[in-house]
């Protein structure tokens, strides 16, 4: 990867934070309104919105009076939790039954978002002994790791070695090697390394499948292919849904466009086929901090760094995360998520705490809704 001279940025002058039109223009709110097709059965509300609207099982909602704009400052008519959901509908269990007329005119807000299940299935193909005992004892602290010898996501096994003791490897069900131990390493040390790698896989699995969409934060990503030797940019349409293929050695840049109605901060993660997560925006080649990656509605930005497609081969995913405040996820790369920390942004807090998620079982993780995540999938080939 090589850095390039950043594009010049025009400078604005004068007072920028001025209220216009008396502050009367208000943004679009994200809420759900019961329709004529929705119904109540006891304290169960059937709502015509589901997984595509981020209403995952376990998500907390509030039913608020007509006209509510900020649910944090309002008293709910009822509180509820999503019990079941499919793509276009869900069932919400309310703590009390609102008046039918009030419910018909109400606004239902997501108050705490739940996303995905962290469960990972593991097969341990080791002989009984000190290592297997140490590994099982360590994994007992993380109930999201389930032993499954039939349909595992991950496999721990001994690999023949020329040394006196075999090496231990952790591989995925599609045979990506995540860890290989040093010959003759202490069993306690190997068990610790295996647990760290398994939990890093859990973190990667969570981020790989995470999708969120806010209309105001509609930030999209496109490739600017350069080929191997050419410096000519071939702009790929942001709306192009075709899968992009890069051969090893081909170069590309990234184009970011704000198609939403709100300005936003953004960061980009690269999730490799071998489940290694790398923060590529911000990258040290740019010389810019996380709070400098800001984009206005209708604006396009070409990222100044150039990237080169390289192994591992397979399907790679870029995750552009748009937020209303600066978000710095560099700790998940430098520390691989292994350090619990206090974090200001909800997504950062969730990412940093995934590997310490040992008190609530293998249930869902919660986020707040003021986030959009755009995924760009591509394939790296020989």
| CATH (domain of 152) | 3.40.30
Q: Is the same domain home to 49 and 164?
A: no
Q: Is the same domain home to 374 and 230?
A: yes
Q: In the predicted model, what is the mean pLDDT of residues 309-321?
A: 90
Q: Is the same domain home to 244 and 338?
A: yes
169/166 Cα distance (integer angstroms) = 10
Q: Which two tokens stand for residue 208?
A: 């790989």
- Is 165 domain-assigned? yes
CATH number at residue 273: 2.60.40.2550
Q: What pLDDT score does 351 carry?
A: 55
- Point out the least confidently predicted range of 254-258, 271-275, 291-295, 340-344: 340-344
Q: Is the same domain home to 362 and 377?
A: yes
Closest CA to 54 of 87, 84, 78, 76: 87
Q: What pLDDT score does 331 carry?
A: 62
- Is 362 domain-assigned? yes
Q: How do residues 106-139 score in pLDDT, each as one tens digit? A: 999 998 877 656 688 999 999 999 999 999 999 9
Closest CA to 56 of 209, 208, 266, 205: 209
What residues does 47 pair with on adjacent strands?
Answer: 90
- Is 6 domain-assigned? no
Q: Which residue has the higher pLDDT, 345 or 309?
A: 309
- Could you tell me the pLDDT band of residue 290, with boundaries at 50, 70 and 90? confident
- Is 23 domain-assigned? no
How many Cα neighbours within 13 Å face the side chain of 156?
25
Q: Single out the residue in 51, 80, 115 at which a domain terminates.
A: 115
- Is 5 domain-assigned? no
The helix/strand/coil state of 334 is: helix
- Is 11 domain-assigned? no
66/34 Cα distance (integer angstroms) = 11
Question: Length of the chain, please?
Answer: 382
Q: Is the same domain home to 162 and 292?
A: no
Containing 40, the helix (H) or strand (E) segment is: strand 39-41
Model pTM score: 0.59
What residues does 78 pair with on adjacent strands?
Answer: 63
Q: Is the same domain home to 327 and 236?
A: yes
Q: Single out the residue in 62, 82, 115 at which a domain terminates.
A: 115
- Flag whether pLDDT at 334 surpasses 70: no
Q: Is the same domain home to 237 and 368?
A: yes
Residue 272 phi/psi, 5-degree rounding, is: -75, 165
- Is 14 domain-assigned? no
Q: Is the same domain home to 124 and 111?
A: no
Q: How do residues 65-100 score in pLDDT, each as one tens digit? A: 999 998 989 999 999 999 988 767 899 999 999 999
Q: What pLDDT score does 254 carry?
A: 93
Is 81 in contact with 93 (CB distance < 8 Å)? yes
CATH number at residue 70: 2.40.10
Q: How do residues 135-156 score in pLDDT, each as one tens digit? A: 999 998 887 789 999 999 999 9
309/6 Cα distance (integer angstroms) = 21
Q: Single out the residue in 89, 115, 141 at which a domain terminates.
A: 115
Q: How do residues 39-55 score in pLDDT, each as one tens digit? A: 899 999 999 888 767 78
Q: Is the same domain home to 60 and 163?
A: no
Residue 252 phi/psi, 5-degree rounding, is: -155, 160
Q: Is the same domain home to 33 and 72?
A: yes
- Could you tell me the pLDDT band of residue 300, with boundaries at 50, 70 and 90? very high
The share of the chain scoring above pLDDT 70, in percent, equals 75
* Contacting residues for 57 by C-beta, under 8 A, at least 6 apart: 82, 83, 84, 85, 114, 364
Q: Is the same domain home to 111 and 124?
A: no
321/210 Cα distance (integer angstroms) = 10
Q: Is the same domain home to 146 and 184?
A: yes
* Enclosing domain of residue 329: 215-381
Q: How do residues 259-286 score in pLDDT, each as one tens digit? A: 999 999 999 989 888 878 888 998 888 8
- Is 181 domain-assigned? yes
- Flag whether pLDDT at 303 surpasses 70: yes
Containing 371, the helix (H) or strand (E) segment is: strand 371-381
The share of the chain scoring above pLDDT 90, in percent, equals 39
If one counts the domains in the chain, the total is 3
Residue 167 phi/psi, 5-degree rounding, is: -85, 150
């Amino acid at each position: 990867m090589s850095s390039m001279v950043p594009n010049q940025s025009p400078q604005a002058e004068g007072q920028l934070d001025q209220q216009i039109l008396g502050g009367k223009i208000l943004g679009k709110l994200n809420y759900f309104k019961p329709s004529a097709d929705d119904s109540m059965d006891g304290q169960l509300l059937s709502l015509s919105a589901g997984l595509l609207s981020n209403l995952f099982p376990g998500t907390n909602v509030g039913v608020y009076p007509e006209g509510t704009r900020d649910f944090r400052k309002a008293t709910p008519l009822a509180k509820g939790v999503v019990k079941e959901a499919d793509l276009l509908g869900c069932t919400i269990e309310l703590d009390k039954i609102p008046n039918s007329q009030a419910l018909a005119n109400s606004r239902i807000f997501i108050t705490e978002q739940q996303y995905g299940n962290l469960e990972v299935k593991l097969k341990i193909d080791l002989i009984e002994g000190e290592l297997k005992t140490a590994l099982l004892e360590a994994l007992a602290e993380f109930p999201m790791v389930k032993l499954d010898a039939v349909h595992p996501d991950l496999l721990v096994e001994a690999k023949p070695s020329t040394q006196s003791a075999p090496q231990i490897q952790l591989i995925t069900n599609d045979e990506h090697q995540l860890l290989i131990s040093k010959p003759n390493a202490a069993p306690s040390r190997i068990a610790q390394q295996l647990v760290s790698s398994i939990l890093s896989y859990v973190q990667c699995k969570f981020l790989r499948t995470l999708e969120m969409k806010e209309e105001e934060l509609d930030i999209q990503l496109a490739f600017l292919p350069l080929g191997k030797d050419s410096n000519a940019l071939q702009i790929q349409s942001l709306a192009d849904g075709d899968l992009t293929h890069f051969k090893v050695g081909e170069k590309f840049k990234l184009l970011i466009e704000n198609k939403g109605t709100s300005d936003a901060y953004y960061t980009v993660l690269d999730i490799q086929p071998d489940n290694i997560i790398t923060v590529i925006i911000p990258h040290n080649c740019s010389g810019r901090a996380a709070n400098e990656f800001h984009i206005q509605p209708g604006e396009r930005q070409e990222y100044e760094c150039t990237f080169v497609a390289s192994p591992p081969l397979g399907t790679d995913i870029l995750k552009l995360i748009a937020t209303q405040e600066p978000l710095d996820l560099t700790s998940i790369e430098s520390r691989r998520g292994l350090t619990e920390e206090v974090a200001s942004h909800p997504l950062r807090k969730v990412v940093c705490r995934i590997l310490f998620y040992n008190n609530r079982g293998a249930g869902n993780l919660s986020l707040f809704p003021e986030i959009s995540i755009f995924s760009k999938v591509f394939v790296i080939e020989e």
